[in-house]
Structure 1
């Protein structure tokens, strides 16, 4: 017996030593403060005169990044920007006139204008309160801005300041004077007898009130918002209308997240969200008619299909579904340049509909121009979410609007004539469009697309009415382009699969060469030969082609075991050819591959970058096709990479942790071991905005929640499971894994462990936490997949 134990100990020790010697990487090395990798540019912007590129950088290895600049005429010199120069830089927010010769903006709560030709800044107004959202109107001698939740105009020629609205919070105050006590009445009368001026003022005030009552002269109009919060005040370009939103907040019970390590020494409850299915805020849009001095609401009850029920109701035949006007969220409006027309983007609370509607500014009535219905949920690049963010606006003809839609199955750019109703699709194909914007002369589009493949991004130029797209970038990977104000140059933040982000400069021409401006990799980081993962496609159970990144060890190192990585967020892309936001995991995959593991990183169903059908493939069943894609990936490894079917592990964080749990609970014959990090265990306990899109609401669609939540399938655990979670996680609450742990205890499950991280939120910060977590993951795989 002693001899067997000794031989087993020697075998394990030999195994650990063997694999420790196969890589120059270690968990401790790759999970240390990322500053060891070098410094890489972020937050790129241009100076107002197209001479300097500004970006965050940290070559000195300070506790945080600082602002640096490169002058395009002296490209070899990277200069740190001191605080004096920073204070003089034009704020990124603000508005240009059409000729881009003037810019208005706020600084230190005051209103400024900058003359780009003369390079001269002038302070226009200081009103003792924050001035917000300055804009040029159609008459560019006029500006609008918001102050204390009211709209104003300012005439640049005359200096006249005009208040357009009179909006107040709370209810209308009664004007009747409250009755005074005997003591207060005596003091008032004594004061009036002693002070003649005060008595005369009091008499004049009373006479004025009596005259108004006699003549019927109305008081100045005031709109009282009551308990509703006013936001998004927008002045029409002709200054005839001011639109604003009113939001009525609902009181929902928040989930407390205790912080046991607060500096005070006491347990402190952190502010946290409510759970999916709670009452949602009501959002209205109102119009302040300046000429009529009155307010009326935008009317949404006539939108086509406003009472339509979702298809899933047929799964609940015993429930009575009442047809009624659905709650909606209006955003915008988007005004034509002359201010005479406006469109509104309206989304339904149940996530099934999006209307683009013409707004009658005189009445508040809406006329639908385009309805987009999705029985799953409305989303996609440029389509926006509840409170805006959509690609939308007008062409200079004051008749044509532009927007993005998934009508074709992919998010593309469209034009629509608001007078004829004619719609034109400007881009088309099995790819997506990102962040389109008009050129200064409004004759062209600049846009980023995945036209050359979902794993790459390029920047293009296209005629405003459609036509051939001219590709302006050439480097394979991701090209994040920041166009100079004069549109002559592109600052490009570029990366490739195994090359972190660097800054490049290129003339805005297809034929020009991109010049690299930064080179931030440390010597230690660049000394390792980081892998360029192979981009592959494998077949899913339903015949779909699933994209993935594959890491293959050398024949000498290969150990027959495999690890599948599941990215988080659900709607996110990671099987691409640029530097991953999961850079720690990427380095960990290099370590695993050095140790002989084959690693597969899958863009499963629900991932971004592959169009509407891929995005909605998880509707009403998370843990369905997104999980079967992981199983198909495992089968691919067995059939094509000579992987032992008894030695496959899986891991991931957040949504990836959720999939890992579902894999370990429902596919035990496929996955021997798994590490579930910061994982959702019961979707009924996650937030509303994300979850209700995919699973509807628990009270209305309990079927979707029950088949999508791992806690209901915990009895299926057969393999080896590591659960890791931050205790101060305000996104996926620690309560999730506490409830699951109790369930596993009650089920008598043995081969699982829970690692807690007392000081960590959803995204870990401390290198010690990262190191401890990934040390546990590596030990799990080494100890269970290599035996």
Structure 2
């Protein structure tokens, strides 16, 4: 079925003004437009491209070392005179550590293996005087003197160390297994603070197990003596732990068949917060994945994740432990607002009604757990400096609530300080929080206003105020040493431009510090006088720069890792355009590529390709270097072949706030396909595209959306390639899927509405399915089941390519090349 697209496009776009300061950019890209509503064209300012040189598929799909081995994970040296960064080893996945002086030339020198321990303090922790920094290298603890640069090794063994923390008395604590130790740095004396045991507390004598045992104990005197002796030895040992300071403290027993999920020691060393859960065993409800190409020449099975349909609730039991007395107090969730609310009431009612049943709602405790650490980068259980107060971030397992609570240490009670509720789901990003120094206040990030912003909670006044506000995202917050200024990354001037800003903790004007006009990350120097910047543009991969810590200061480039070979190729300059949506007020931000000789008045419209990014919640229409760099180069080749190409950030993408993110709740594949319809229509009206000759492709979530577009809007795309695609969300993982679609047992309506396998009868256009066979993320079975469905529907115009050794993220250049040759042929055969 062919269809002519005639969509009315709204005339107005967002009119958020950009900064009036003139952008200063010595690096990779600048933008020509002063208004967010106009196209922004990325301009190359380095390199000498050869406009006649053809972009070859074998080159762009080769090992990416030929492009650049960019600096990664950059950080300052202890004295701020040099910077350190990881760099990929040529021809190998290994990374080497490099060091470069601020005034040196070149890309730095590789740090010798024998010296790595002296520089491994990137994520170290400082003491209260800020003159010492402790860190872990190869499982062992080291301390750096930040005044002299001297490094002292504290441990040398093979056990893992973590949870480093300076205590208020100057000792350094660390965790090994479930034991916590403290080291006196003056004399090296190490003592056990607490040993956590996941078993029941031992008893000297067991109670009789049956009537025979009871009679035996009462009848035989020898048995009574043995029991009495054991009890005396046990009691002496218990008193020894309590009364003799030379003996390690008695263990804390958390119960049999329990797993420690989270733990945090007070800086005073006197208390601890512990979260335990029932072991989440994979055996029995996990899956296996066969590997056909193996070193043994035999089929080998690999254990892989469970599916969302098999998910079990994760609930943490919280304990406050007094390390002096060994007393353990369970912390109830009953003080949290909504702790027993039926937040899925309307969803369950709808699903019950669809089955002809009636749902009866009731209030009952929800599964609640401590927020994952990677979701809360400042820590998920944070103490104030002297250990007199502690805050904890909690999340409901049904994904609808996030709480920040403090703990009443005297009464052993949780006190709610902030509840973030979302009818859809709470973001796993933007969850940083911590104490403000020397105060009874907490700062935190929240999407409560639609966009992530900084808030301060005054616990004494029981009031919360916003420090930042507006239609932009705040992330990667750093509080300065004085505790009076927040530094952060934000897309304040444009959704696709991320710069560095600062704002007083007390509130006031937000000050823009960088004007690099791409994607910029930062680290404050040790004395806070400079910024170490990692910056990229759409045309150049990340490089390192340094800038004085003031607005619009001059920028010095530190590294130049991009190859001359890459710079010499004629990469097209994509426009960054807000395509008007026919469904919502905000535009659909997109990157648009056109041929060098593009003629908007050409009689014959251009063929076009729409790229759909993966991950769902990801931003690709931005002004920085894309993680889809191979796709960027492929799009460049397509423009040389006369195609117009568009990458879009459909609804559900990152970078545009909560409402844009949650538009896909319970309907994945519906708003996104509406956005695809809009961008195709826009290309027809504004880029002279023949809308009867448009193709699409994408991987992972992009593969899923390729299916949904072809199945639900036949004729929108003449051809589509779905790479490593999801076909049935009930078979995907829990953490991602349950956020958006709830659980299958609660909301099968959402799964049927959102899974391509239920719409396969709509296929009419050419389809390529590209499936890696050892994909531990999206199982190969997803593609297999859909192929069987297409066979049963007697569909003809589809083909499948399998890749026997590839996981979800392709690695081998030969696999990349084969896959994209097939995609290119699909478009050439069907769009020209």
**TM-score if structure 1 supplies the norm length?**
0.89
Aligned to 1:112, which of 142, 157, 177? 142
Distance across 1 between alignment mates of 2:438 and 2:580: 48
Shifted more, 168-177 versus 644-653: the winner is: 168-177
Residue 415 of structure 1: aligned partner: 456
Residue segments in structure 2 that go unaligned for 5+ positions in a row: 1-50, 209-224, 243-249, 372-379
Q: Is the 8 A contact 2:605 2:690 kept in 1?
A: no
CA-to-aligned-CA distance 1:536-589 (integer Å, 9 cap, x gap)? 122223143211111122236986211111000000000000110000000111
1:171 aligned onto 2:200: yes
- Larger relative contact order (Cα-Cα within 8 Å, sequence gap ≥ 6): 2
Report how far residue 173 of structure 1 moved.
4.0
Report how far residue 267 of structure 1 moved.
0.9
Seen in structure 2, the aligned counterparts of structure 1 residues 205 and 410 have a Cα distance that, compared at 3 Å, is: same
1:136 aligned onto 2:136: no
Distance across 1 between alignment mates of 2:498 and 2:272: 39
Seen in structure 2, the aligned counterparts of structure 1 residues 601 and 129 have a Cα distance that, compared at 3 Å, is: closer
1:29 aligned onto 2:30: no
Seen in structure 2, the aligned counterparts of structure 1 residues 636 and 173 have a Cα distance that, compared at 3 Å, is: same
Residue 434 of structure 1: aligned partner: 475
1:356 aligned onto 2:396: no
Aligned to 2:297, which of 258, 265, 271? 265
Report how far residue 478 of structure 1 moved.
0.9
Q: Which secondary structure state, in structure 2, belongs to the residue aligned with residue 626 of structure 1?
A: helix
Q: Which secondary structure state, in structure 2, belongs to the residue aligned with residue 325 of structure 1?
A: coil
Residue 598 of structure 2: aligned partner: 555
CA-to-aligned-CA distance 1:669-719 (integer Å, 9 cap, x gap)? 311110000000000000000000000000100110001000000011001
Q: Which secondary structure state, in structure 1, belongs to the residue aligned with residue 442 of structure 2?
A: strand
Residue segments in structure 1 that go unaligned for 5+ positions in a row: 1-20, 180-202, 384-390
Residue 713 of structure 1: aligned partner: 759
The 5 Å alignment of 1:290-689 reads: 290-309=323-342, 310=344, 311-316=346-351, 317=353, 318-331=358-371, 332-379=380-427, 381-383=429-431, 391-544=432-585, 545-553=587-595, 554-555=597-598, 560-689=606-735
Distance across 2 between alignment mates of 1:524 and 1:606: 36
Residue 760 of structure 1: aligned partner: 806
Shifted more, 703-712 versus 43-52: the winner is: 43-52
Seen in structure 2, the aligned counterparts of structure 1 residues 209 and 709 have a Cα distance that, compared at 3 Å, is: closer
Residue 726 of structure 1: aligned partner: 772
Distance across 1 between alignment mates of 2:234 and 2:204: 13
RMSD: 2.7
Distance across 2 between alignment mates of 1:492 and 1:723: 40
Q: Is the 8 A contact 2:605 2:688 kept in 1?
A: no
Count of matched residue positions in the alignment of Structure 1 and Structure 2:
735
Report how far residue 237 of structure 1 moved.
2.1
Report how far residue 35 of structure 1 moved.
1.4
Shifted more, 674-683 versus 153-162: the winner is: 153-162
Report how far residue 450 of structure 1 moved.
0.7
Seen in structure 2, the aligned counterparts of structure 1 residues 707 and 78 have a Cα distance that, compared at 3 Å, is: same
Seen in structure 2, the aligned counterparts of structure 1 residues 436 and 77 have a Cα distance that, compared at 3 Å, is: closer
Q: Is the 8 A contact 1:381 1:432 kept in 2?
A: no
Q: Which secondary structure state, in structure 2, belongs to the residue aligned with residue 661 of structure 1?
A: helix
Seen in structure 2, the aligned counterparts of structure 1 residues 98 and 469 have a Cα distance that, compared at 3 Å, is: farther
Residue 387 of structure 1: aligned partner: none
Shifted more, 99-108 versus 445-454: the winner is: 99-108
Seen in structure 2, the aligned counterparts of structure 1 residues 421 and 641 have a Cα distance that, compared at 3 Å, is: same
Distance across 1 between alignment mates of 2:709 and 2:590: 18
Seen in structure 2, the aligned counterparts of structure 1 residues 381 and 233 have a Cα distance that, compared at 3 Å, is: closer
Seen in structure 2, the aligned counterparts of structure 1 residues 219 and 505 have a Cα distance that, compared at 3 Å, is: closer
1:255 aligned onto 2:311: no
Aligned to 2:306, which of 248, 271, 274? 274
Seen in structure 2, the aligned counterparts of structure 1 residues 219 and 495 have a Cα distance that, compared at 3 Å, is: closer
Shifted more, 125-134 versus 694-703: the winner is: 125-134
Distance across 1 between alignment mates of 2:237 and 2:302: 58
1:122 aligned onto 2:152: yes
Report how far residue 372 of structure 1 moved.
1.0
Shifted more, 206-215 versus 764-773: the winner is: 206-215
Distance across 2 between alignment mates of 1:648 and 1:215: 79
The 5 Å alignment of 1:164-203 reads: 164-176=193-205
Distance across 1 between alignment mates of 2:776 and 2:298: 18
The 5 Å alignment of 1:96-107 reads: 96-107=126-137
Residue 3 of structure 1: aligned partner: none
**TM-score if structure 2 supplies the norm length?**
0.84
Q: Which secondary structure state, in structure 2, belongs to the residue aligned with residue 457 of structure 1?
A: strand
Seen in structure 2, the aligned counterparts of structure 1 residues 543 and 301 have a Cα distance that, compared at 3 Å, is: closer
Seen in structure 2, the aligned counterparts of structure 1 residues 720 and 50 have a Cα distance that, compared at 3 Å, is: same
Distance across 1 between alignment mates of 2:620 and 2:640: 21
Shifted more, 97-106 versus 147-156: the winner is: 147-156
Distance across 1 between alignment mates of 2:277 and 2:415: 23
Q: Is the 8 A contact 2:205 2:227 kept in 1?
A: no
CA-to-aligned-CA distance 1:606-664 (integer Å, 9 cap, x gap)? 00000010000100000110111011111111222222221111110000000000111
Residue 32 of structure 2: aligned partner: none
Distance across 2 between alignment mates of 1:442 and 1:163: 33
CA-to-aligned-CA distance 1:16-54 (integer Å, 9 cap, x gap)? xxxxx9970122221111112233222212222212211
Q: Is the 8 A contact 2:78 2:149 kept in 1?
A: no
Report how far residue 124 of structure 1 moved.
4.1
Q: Is the 8 A contact 1:146 1:233 kept in 2?
A: no
Report how far residue 127 of structure 1 moved.
7.5
Residue 247 of structure 2: aligned partner: none
Shifted more, 394-403 versus 461-470: the winner is: 461-470
Seen in structure 2, the aligned counterparts of structure 1 residues 446 and 671 have a Cα distance that, compared at 3 Å, is: same
Seen in structure 2, the aligned counterparts of structure 1 residues 646 and 210 have a Cα distance that, compared at 3 Å, is: closer
Q: Is the 8 A contact 1:246 1:283 kept in 2?
A: yes
Q: Is the 8 A contact 2:118 2:151 kept in 1?
A: no
Distance across 1 between alignment mates of 2:82 and 2:227: 61
Q: Which secondary structure state, in structure 1, belongs to the residue aligned with residue 541 of structure 2?
A: strand
Distance across 2 between alignment mates of 1:698 and 1:77: 52
Residue 375 of structure 2: aligned partner: none
Seen in structure 2, the aligned counterparts of structure 1 residues 339 and 672 have a Cα distance that, compared at 3 Å, is: same
Residue 42 of structure 1: aligned partner: 72
1:696 aligned onto 2:736: no
CA-to-aligned-CA distance 1:313-372 (integer Å, 9 cap, x gap)? 342342333321100012432212221111211110100011111211234311211111
Q: Which secondary structure state, in structure 1, belongs to the residue aligned with residue 316 of structure 2?
A: strand
Q: Is the 8 A contact 1:431 1:450 kept in 2?
A: yes
Seen in structure 2, the aligned counterparts of structure 1 residues 70 and 177 have a Cα distance that, compared at 3 Å, is: same
Distance across 2 between alignment mates of 1:205 and 1:314: 59
Aligned to 1:89, which of 119, 141, 153? 119
Q: Which secondary structure state, in structure 2, belongs to the residue aligned with residue 431 of structure 1?
A: coil
